[in-house]
Amino acid sequence: MLVGGRLTDRPVAATMWFSPAGGLPLPPFENPAMARRALLTLVASTLCLLLVGAPSPGTGEPPKVAAGDSPPIDFCREIIPVLTKLGCNQGACHGAQLGKGGFRQSLFGFDPDNDYQQIVLALKGRRISYSRPEESLILKKPLLHVAHAGGKRLKENSEAYRRLVTWIADGAPGPKANEPTLTAIQVEPQAQALQPGGSLQLRVTAKWSDGKTEDVTEFAQYDSLTEGQASVDAAGKVTGVGTGEGAVMIRYLGQAAVCRTSAPYGSPTTVDDFGDHLVDRLLAKKWEQLGLVPSPAASDAEFLRRVQLDLIGTTPTPDEVRAFLADANPDKRTKLVDDLLERPEYADYWTLKWGDLLRNNRTYLEPKGMWCLHQWLRSSFIANKPLDEFARELLTAQGSTFQEGPANFYRVGTTPADWGESASQLFLGVRMQCAKCHHHPFEKWSQDDYYGLAACFARVGNKPSQEYGLFGRETVIFLRPNGEVSHPRKPGAVKPRAPEGPAFNETQDRREQLAAWLTAKDNPYFARNLVNRYWAYCFGRGLVEPIDDLRATNPASNEPLLQALTERFIADGYDVKKLLRLLVTSRAYQISSQAVPGNQADVENKFHTRYRVRRLAAEQLADALDAATGTREKYQGLPAGTRAIQLPDASIPSYLLTIFGRPGRRQACECERTATPNLAQALHLLNGDFLGGKIARQGGRVDRLFQQKKPLPEVVEELYLATLCRTPSPPELVKALSLIKETPSPRVGAEDLLWALVNSPEFLFNH
Amino acid sequence: MIHLLLLLAIEPPAIKPQVDYPHAEVILRKNCIVCHSEKLRTEMELSGGIVLDSYAAILKPQGKALVVPGKPKESLLYQVLIREDAEKRMPKDCPPLDASEIATIHDWIRTGAKEGDPKQRFSATSTDTKVIARRLLKIKLPVMDRGPEISIQMPRPEPVTALAFGENGMLAFSAGPSLCFWNMSEVSAMKRVALFPASDLRYEAGQGWWLAGGIPGGLGRCVRMADFEAENAAAFSADQTVQQCVPNSQTSNPSFAVGSKVCWGQPDSKAGSRTFDGHSDTVLALVGTERFLYSGSKDRSIRKLDGTTGQALLTLSGHRDEVHALALSPDGKLLLSGGLEPGLFFWNTETGERTRVQAAAGSITAIAISPDGGTAATAGPDGNLRLWRLPGGNQLRTVPLGSPLLCLSFSHDVKYLAVGGHDGIVRILEVATGRLCVSILPHSTEERGWIAWTPAGFFTREKAAVWPLTVRVGGEAVPWEKAQAKLEQPEEVKRSLATAPPSRRPTPIRPGGRP
């Protein structure tokens, strides 16, 4: 007897089988993986002979023919993916912490023991019927044969149903000890051109620790990360939606992978003559693939203001602008960069950045500890300490928090878990927090990784010291001879190890071993994370975005570039100044922020075809206002003349800084600094007496210009240089002069002009 | 024109098929009862007080008649589906139902809104759900080491979900849909009654056997008094699955656990005459007397209830997970409890105080205390039977039985303990020694019959039964006649039950000849 079915979508011929026992009907399958699986299992359970006339797609191997009794269905390997695919254990349903409707599953099935207990043992086994598997509550609910708030999830004729029923009929065997684990999933294709309207079928292969590989296309989960570019259905069929680069996330049993699609924005372009610079070459290559063209070069004035803000957080003075514009040296931009990297503001500005990341804050550290960490940061940047050394000093710090700056790292958090989380987010760019309570939903990180990392810090102790007096509240960080971390679901102490890395030995400081792993040249995260951060500080958007969320399922917008920069950074010995110099001397950094028709289609400016416009950070803005008005804000408790970028912590009161998004330094996340506009910002600058007072202040810029009795056109030019860092264009000059003439006195007019200039977007934004 | 007339003339009269409730029910379940269910009747914002999850509820006027049989246009249930105004149309905030689904509802009402055959439920749309070939399993009958290996090829047996000893050596157990009565002194089945898979089975002298329905797929939404002489003497029906029941020695009104409620029943009444609804989740265990009842629930608490008023007297809290089993000592002073979380909990019923926890007990599905109050037995999903000395609580012994266990019962003379589990085998053990005396595989269907055997390998079976039985010794098949002559010895099986030490081993059987 011959029954035939055709596998579509692949260069596959016909499939036939002969059944001596009388044959079973084979429904047509849309999904080739499902058809293969169904054939094999039917064959296995009915002792048929199978002849398959076509190779299995992708690998070229013919499917294996099994005979005899098929092995029992494996709970971890075969049932959990089904439950996950059906959505049973998602966060909104039974995967919630307390479950739903009295039925509790672990989120995406990370805890098979719990899931088995809940399905099979809980409610005295009422959810399962061994002798009448199809009558099991666990099936009748998702089939909607009885009321189910989650609706119909399961179809009677599906492979999922067949698998569940067979599992129950086999006696619902539970998770076994020493079960093979899933080591990786592989998706084919990993990257493919996909025009809007086109489609492609993904194929997912699971690799197990016992060497088995398995096609899991049917039960993998698919999510589009970029709905505007590509959509994906539950069977793994990707459909092109729009232009640009798309990404589809594939998840299976705690492992994740990504398939990338791309559709050019326009016809392929050639970006000629964009230069040999590493950054330019690789960006241009991407632009050519995507049919984009870069915006034209920025003017000298634009570049000067931009690079000063990005490297030292400070706007140039009118004299600096004049000198730079007048300089005829063709290498003046490179020379400027070299000069900026040696200025004292460089250390101030990057101390501020890293102070945010390390949460340098007197509420955690006491004023003395805060100053100590601040000074350590400052001296590190003055000395241009390589970042691997920087990280090592921080992680392995010991001693008094009032004397050893980096030791304060261990006072910001209080538990090994805190320190593990911070270290991971800072230096790996990995957000581990999810894995504290359950397997990371989009990543491979498990609770084992989380607690293994925390165990590296298990022996850090602290004790009070009286060196600074009984109430000095000094803390000494030291290493204890013992101390372990326990796993919430497993007995015994957790062995210290790096995420995904080998377990550390017990004889040495665990932190030393962690730091050595972290700063090893082949560490896949450390340099990559730092390069991505510094890229984002210069270009306004990380190659991976958000910048501290590096993971396989968050692909970089230009992977070759990130790779090349990472390699260069490692080769340069983790030298930050060299990295910054490399980035800002690229031509790509020096292009205009204005879109041109050839790159407008990339609305998000994901591919850096133009400079990304950003509002000045709170501290940059405060200093720029000071510079523009020629006054100095006085910050409480600090000497006069202290600038906002020199502030050591976030608790120094300043309304301006607060409303413009100064972070409270409570999280190790870049996201704590906000750039969102709000009404208070506008009102504070438009009609607060704060700005009015600064503009009109005696000894301020306007006052001084009038003291010096400068002619009006010069006053206008000076105000333009002090705010927008450029000279006014002739029409602007005419307009400004006529504005001043309309006012009661030239001085009031000049003040009005300054007020208008600092409220202009050109001043408020880095462009 | 002529053509058209001809066409009209030759067209056969349209056959309008009868549409019954099962067809409509599928649509209502899929689209409506997420909000309109009995459970949500009182939540007016969701259900509006309209309930659509049973035939009876739909036909009962709920404010206004939902269904006027024969008249879809006058039936609210149909009207709300076809309203133009999306705000007033059902399902709320969803696209309208498919035309075919609306037509089905329409036709169901038009053809009289009949209930149809409840057994046909879901067959209306559920396609071939029985595609799974039931595998034949090779079931090895557990016997002693180095003894003969006896195995049967058969479908997976029904689990033994409830059992209880009666008087005069009578044992009753529920395996799948049948209730089996056994004579222990004769070691033979006396009667098999087709009922439903029972979740509980109790015996009360003078009141008969009480059963509670509740196994998934079972139709047992009632408590039945099933007497050996006159089965189905009385039944109480309830809207939900009955989990447990407790007989009343004074009257024939049992108490029973239904969903999260405890009810005190009256024969032939629709529901209990009194209810206690203080538990927030399913009540899974219920024990007690006329004066005091103890209910254990999935909500992790145990309640002590006044048997006459139904008032809650005490809450016994301390379980961190579902409570699955309770047992009360004969003097009523000690309560044992167990559940999903490992541990056997001891409670003082007077004070509600937890006096002891035996962590060694593992998870527990069933607990029994011997009628003399001296021994307790617990059974768990790990397949271990554990015996405990009372009132102290020291563990006497652990008997590994291999299969997840579900129920246990002491005989009235405290000589035997019967245990049932997922493998469908009822095992009779001697309490004093923990020795396994006899195992019984009661097949649930008539044509297969039963078999009982001793650890030594002697067996007895229903004479009429046809058994694909194979016997092997040392890995080699033994010819059936040879094995039968040596091993099928009912007297040896009886002796194993009656005498304390194992009687004798079978004389060696030599493999050879053709199997």
Query: pLDDT tens for residues B183-196?
Result: 888 888 888 877 77
Residue A24 pLDDT > 60: no
- The reported pLDDT for the residue numbered A533 is 95
- The reported pLDDT for the residue numbered A684 is 87
- The reported pLDDT for the residue numbered A704 is 93
Which residues in A lie closer than 8 A to residue B130 (C-beta atoms)? 134
Q: How confident is the model at residue A218 (pLDDT cuts 50, 70, 90)?
A: very high
The answer, yes or no, to whether the previous bond of A441 is cis (omega within 30 of 0) is no
Are the Cβ atoms of B215 and A129 closer than 8 angstroms? Answer: yes
- The reported pLDDT for the residue numbered B3 is 52
Q: What is the pLDDT of residues B472-504, one digit of tens each?
A: 877 788 887 888 888 888 888 888 888 655 545
Which residues in A lie closer than 8 A to residue B404 (C-beta atoms)? 125
Among chain B residues, the shortest Cα distance to A142 is held by B30
Mutate to test the interface with B, among A98, A124, A146 (most CBs of B within 10 A): A124
CB of B359 within 8 Å of any CB in chain A?
Answer: no
Q: What is the mean pLDDT of residues A84-101?
A: 90
Q: What is the pLDDT of residues A692-743, one digit of tens each?
A: 899 999 999 999 999 999 999 999 999 999 999 999 999 999 999 999 999 9
CB < 8 Å from B in window 38-67 of A? 45-46
Are the Cβ atoms of B33 and A137 closer than 8 angstroms? Answer: no
Are the Cβ atoms of B157 and A131 closer than 8 angstroms? Answer: yes
Which residues in B lie closer than 8 A to residue A130 (C-beta atoms)? 156, 159, 422
Q: What is the pLDDT of residues A121-165, one digit of tens each?
A: 888 888 888 777 888 889 988 988 877 888 889 988 888 998 999
**CA of A82 to nearest chain B CA: how many angstroms apart?**
17
Residue A652 pLDDT > 80: yes
CB of A273 within 8 Å of any CB in chain B?
Answer: no
Report CA torsion sign: A25, A28, A29, A33.
positive
* Interface ipTM above 0.90: no
Q: What is the pLDDT of residues A454-490, one digit of tens each?
A: 999 999 998 888 777 666 778 899 999 888 998 888 8
Are the Cβ atoms of B298 and A137 closer than 8 angstroms? Answer: no
Q: Do the beta carbons of residue A561 and residue A277 sit within 8 Å?
A: no
Are the Cβ atoms of B284 and A145 closer than 8 angstroms? Answer: no
Radius of gyration over every alpha carbon of chain A, rounded to an integer in angstroms? 32
Are the Cβ atoms of A125 and B156 closer than 8 angstroms? Answer: no
Which residues in B lie closer than 8 A to residue A38 (C-beta atoms)? none
Residue A21 pLDDT > 80: no
Q: How confident is the model at residue B507 (pLDDT cuts 50, 70, 90)?
A: low
According to DSSP, residue A603 is labeled T
- Residues of B128-158 as b/e, b for ≥16 C-beta within 10 angstroms? ebebbeeeebebebbbeeebbbbebebebbb
Which residues in B lie closer than 8 A to residue A163 (C-beta atoms)? none
- The reported pLDDT for the residue numbered B128 is 38
CB of A130 within 8 Å of any CB in chain B?
Answer: yes
CB < 8 Å from B in window 21-40 of A? 24
Mutate to test the interface with A, among B25, B26, B34, B239 (most CBs of A within 10 A): B34
Q: What is the mean pLDDT of residues A413-419?
A: 91
d(CA B182, CA B169): 8
- The reported pLDDT for the residue numbered B225 is 66
- The reported pLDDT for the residue numbered A3 is 34
CB of A129 within 8 Å of any CB in chain B?
Answer: yes
Across the A:B interface, residue pairs with CB atoms under 8 Å apart total 98
Which residues in A lie closer than 8 A to residue B37 (C-beta atoms)? 147
CB of A117 within 8 Å of any CB in chain B?
Answer: yes
**CA of A19 to nearest chain B CA: how many angstroms apart?**
15
d(CA B28, CA B124): 13
Q: Give the least confident one: A189-193, A258-262, A557-561, B10-14.
A: B10-14
Residue A371 pLDDT > 90: yes
Are the Cβ atoms of A124 and B284 closer than 8 angstroms? Answer: yes
Q: DSSP strand E in A364-516: where?
A: 399-400, 460-465, 474-479
d(CA A169, CA B132): 9
Residue B283: helix, strand or coil by DSSP? strand
Question: Closest partner residue to B176 among A131, A145, A169, by Cβ?
Answer: A131
Are the Cβ atoms of B406 and A125 closer than 8 angstroms? Answer: yes
According to DSSP, residue B180 is labeled E
Residue B206 pLDDT > 70: yes
The pTM for the full model equals: 0.74
Residues contacting residue B480 through CB under 8 Å, at least 6 positions apart: B469, B471, B515
Residue A284 carries which side chain, given as an amino acid letter?
A
Question: Closest partner residue to A156 among B126, B157, B322, by Cβ?
Answer: B126
Q: What is the pLDDT of residues B106-122, one digit of tens each?
A: 989 988 888 876 555 44
- The reported pLDDT for the residue numbered B16 is 63
Mutate to test the interface with B, among A131, A140, A144, A146 (most CBs of B within 10 A): A131
Q: DSSP strand E in B222-358: where?
A: 222-226, 234-237, 242-246, 255-258, 261-264, 274-276, 283-288, 292-297, 301-306, 312-317, 323-328, 334-339, 344-348, 353-358
Are the Cβ atoms of A162 and B157 closer than 8 angstroms? Answer: no
Question: Closest partner residue to A123 among B130, B282, B381, by Cβ?
Answer: B282
Q: What is the pLDDT of residues A673-703, one digit of tens each?
A: 888 888 888 888 888 788 889 999 999 999 9
Question: Closest partner residue to B284 among A123, A127, A134, by Cβ?
Answer: A123
Are the Cβ atoms of A129 and B216 closer than 8 angstroms? Answer: yes
Are the Cβ atoms of B216 and A137 closer than 8 angstroms? Answer: yes
CB of B127 within 8 Å of any CB in chain A?
Answer: yes
Which residues in B lie closer than 8 A to residue A102 (C-beta atoms)? 281-282, 298
Q: How confident is the model at residue A43 (pLDDT cuts 50, 70, 90)?
A: very low
Which residues in A lie closer than 8 A to residue B281 (C-beta atoms)? 102
Radius of gyration over every alpha carbon of chain B, rounded to an integer in angstroms? 28
Q: Do the beta carbons of residue B415 and residue B435 sit within 8 Å?
A: no
- The reported pLDDT for the residue numbered B120 is 52
- The reported pLDDT for the residue numbered B464 is 64
CB < 8 Å from B in window 144-173 of A? 144-147, 149, 151-152, 156-157, 161-162, 165-166, 169-171
The answer, yes or no, to whether the previous bond of A416 is cis (omega within 30 of 0) is no
Q: DSSP strand E in A155-274: where?
A: 182-188, 191-193, 199-201, 203-208, 213-215, 221-224, 230-232, 237-240, 244-252, 255-263
Are the Cβ atoms of A169 and B156 closer than 8 angstroms? Answer: yes
- Nearest Cα neighbor of A135 from B162, B372, B241 is B241
- Nearest Cα neighbor of A41 from A61, A59, A62, A63 is A63
- Residues of A344-357 as b/e, b for ≥16 C-beta within 10 angstroms? ebbbbbbbbbbbbb
d(CA B224, CA B236): 6
Residue A755 carries which side chain, given as an amino acid letter?
W
Which residues in A lie closer than 8 A to residue B324 (C-beta atoms)? 124
- Nearest Cα neighbor of B457 from B423, B418, B506 is B506
Are the Cβ atoms of B29 and A123 closer than 8 angstroms? Answer: no
Are the Cβ atoms of A117 and B29 closer than 8 angstroms? Answer: no
Among chain B residues, the shortest Cα distance to A161 is held by B129
Which residues in B lie closer than 8 A to residue A99 (C-beta atoms)? none
Residues forming beta bridges with residue B476, ordered by sequence position: B473
